[in-house]
Structure 1
Amino acid sequence: AAVARIGGDEFAIVLRGLATAGKAQKVARKIHRNITQPFSLGGNRVSIDVNIGIAPCDAEYDSPEEILRDADIAMHYAKERKDGPAVFTKELRHRFLERVRFEMDLRHAVERNELSMHYQPIVSLLDGRLSGFEALLRWHHPEFGNIPPNKFIPIAESSDLIQPITNWILLETTKQIAAWQKIGSDLADLEVSVNIAGRHLSSDDLSDQVENALENSGIRPETLKLEITESTAMENAERSISLLNRLKGLGVKLSIDDFGTGYSSLSYLHRLPFDTLKIDRSFVSGAGERGEDSGILQTIISLGTNLKMRLVAEGIETEAQLAMLRNLGCDYGQGYLISKPRAAEDIEKLLYERHAWLPSSKDPAIELHSDSDSQPHIPLF
Structure 2
Amino acid sequence: MESTSVRNLPVKQASGTPLPGGDDAHPVPGISVPDWLSALPQLAAIFSCENNEITLVHGNARFAAAFQAQSERADAAAKMAAAWRDRVMGFIRSGRDSDSFELRRDGKLGPEYFMCTIGRLPAAQGRPEQYLFTATDRTGERTIEKNLRRELLSDGLTALPNRTGFGEEIDDRLANSAWPDKAQFGIIAIDLSRFSRVNESLGPMAGDELLITVAKRLKSSLRQGDVLARIGGNDFAIFARLNNGLSDALHIVQRIKEALSSPIRLSDLQIRVDCAIGCALSLNLDDDPDDVVRKAQAAVKIAKRSGKVEIYRNGVLKEAQRRFSIESRLRDALAQGGLTLAYQPLIHLQTGEITGFEALARWNDEELGHVPPVEFIAVAEESGLITPLGRWAAYEAAQALSRWDAKFGQPLPVGVNVNLSPIQMARDDVASMFEEALRYSGIGGHRLTAELTESAIIADPDKARKLLVALKGLQMPIAMDDFGTGFSNLASLHSLPIDILKIDRSFVSTMLEDHDKAVIVRTILSLAESLNLRVTAEGIETQALALALQQMGCWQGQGYHFAKPMPEAEAFDYWRARWNFETI
The TM tier, using the shorter chain, reads 0.7 to 0.9
Aligned to 2:385: 161
Change (3 A) 1:302 1:219: same
Structure 2: how far apart are the matches of 1:79 and 1:17? 24
Aligned 8 A contact 2:364 2:370 in 1:
yes
**2:332 corresponds to 1:93:** no
What is the alpha-carbon distance in structure 2 between the residues aligned to residue 36 and residue 333 of structure 1? 50
Residue aligned with 2:396, SS: helix
Equivalent residue number for residue 59 of structure 1: 285
Q: Matched residues in 2 for 1:201 and 1:52: separation?
A: 29
Q: Contact (CA 8 Å) 2:352, 2:583: kept in 1 or not?
A: no
Shift of the 161–290 alpha-carbon distance from structure 1 to 2, 3 Å rule, reads closer
**1:335 lines up with 2:563 in the alignment:** no
* 1:322 pairs with 2:546: yes
Is 1:298 the equivalent of 2:547?
no
User: Which residue is 1:76 aligned to?
Assistant: 301
Measured in 2, the distance between the counterparts of 1:268 and 1:194 equals: 22
SS of alignment partner, residue 509 of structure 2 = helix
Flag the 1:36–1:16 CA change in 2: closer, same or farther, 3 A.
same
1 or 2 for the larger relative contact order (CA 8 Å, sep ≥6)?
Answer: 1
> Which whole-Å CA distance do the structure 1 matches of 2:261 and 2:454 have between them?
24
Q: 1-side partners of 2:493 and 2:258: how far apart?
A: 32
- Could you tell me whether the CA contact under 8 Å between 1:338 and 1:359 is conserved in 2? no
Corresponding letter in the other structure for 2:364: H
C-alpha displacement at 1:143, in angstroms? 2.2
Following superposition, the deviation at residue 196 of structure 1 comes to 0.8
Shift of 1:233: 1.7
Post-superposition Cα deviations, 1:196-240, rounded to whole Å, max 9, x if no partner, equal 111111124322221111001011011111111112221222332
**Larger mean Cα displacement after TM superposition, 106-115 or 277-286:** 106-115
Aligned residues of 2:276 and 2:307 also touching (Cα < 8 A):
no
Q: Deviations over 1:66-104 (max 9, x none)?
A: 544332211112233x26221123411111111111111
Deviations 1:39-63 (A, max 9, x none): xxxxxxx998643211225525555
Q: CA deviation at 1:25?
A: 4.8
Q: Which runs of 5+ in 1 are unaligned?
A: 38-45, 361-381
Residue in structure 2 matched with residue 42 of structure 1 by the alignment: none
Q: Deviations over 1:342-363 (max 9, x none)?
A: 1111112223323577666xxx
Q: 8 Å contact 2:507–2:517 — kept in the other structure?
A: no
Contact 2:357 2:416 in 1 (8 A): yes
Larger Rg belongs to? 2
2:482 aligns to what SS in structure 1?
strand
Q: Which runs of no fewer than 5 residues in structure 2 stay unpaired?
A: 1-220, 223-227, 263-270
Give the deviation of 1:260 after TM superposition. Answer: 0.8
Cα distance in structure 2, aligned partners of 1:89 and 1:297:
39
Contact 1:123 1:357 (C-alpha < 8 Å) held by counterparts:
no
**1:127 aligned counterpart, secondary structure:** coil
Aligned to 1:256: 480
For 1:268 and 1:7, locate their aligned partners in 2 and report how far apart those are by CA, in whole Å.
41
Of stretches 179-188 and 209-218 in structure 1, the one that deviates more from structure 2 is: 179-188
Equivalent in the alignment of 1:374: none
Q: Structure 1 residues 290 and 78, CA, compared in 2 at 3 Å: closer, same or farther?
A: closer
Q: CA RMSD in A?
A: 3.1
Structure 2 residue 462 is matched with structure 1 residue 238: yes
Q: 1:165 to 1:292 in 2, by over 3 A?
A: closer
1:228 counterpart SS class: strand
Q: What is the TM-score when the length of structure 1 is the normalising length? A: 0.81
1:222 counterpart = 2:437:
no
Q: Matched residue of 1:132: which SS?
A: strand
Task: Report the TM-score, using the length of structure 2 for normalisation.
Answer: 0.55
Count of aligned pairs between the two proteins? 351
| Letter aligned with residue 492 of structure 2 | Y
Contact persistence 1:337–1:359 (CA under 8 A): no
Q: 2:401 aligned with 1:177, yes or no? A: yes
Report the secondary structure of 2:402's partner residue: helix
Secondary structure of 1:286 counterpart: coil
Structure-2 separation of matches of 1:33 and 1:262: 34
C-alpha contact (below 8 Å) 1:229/1:257 kept by paired residues: yes
Partner amino acid, structure 1, of 2:285: A
Of 152-161 and 4-13, deviating more is 4-13
Report the counterpart of residue 144 of structure 2 in structure 1.
none
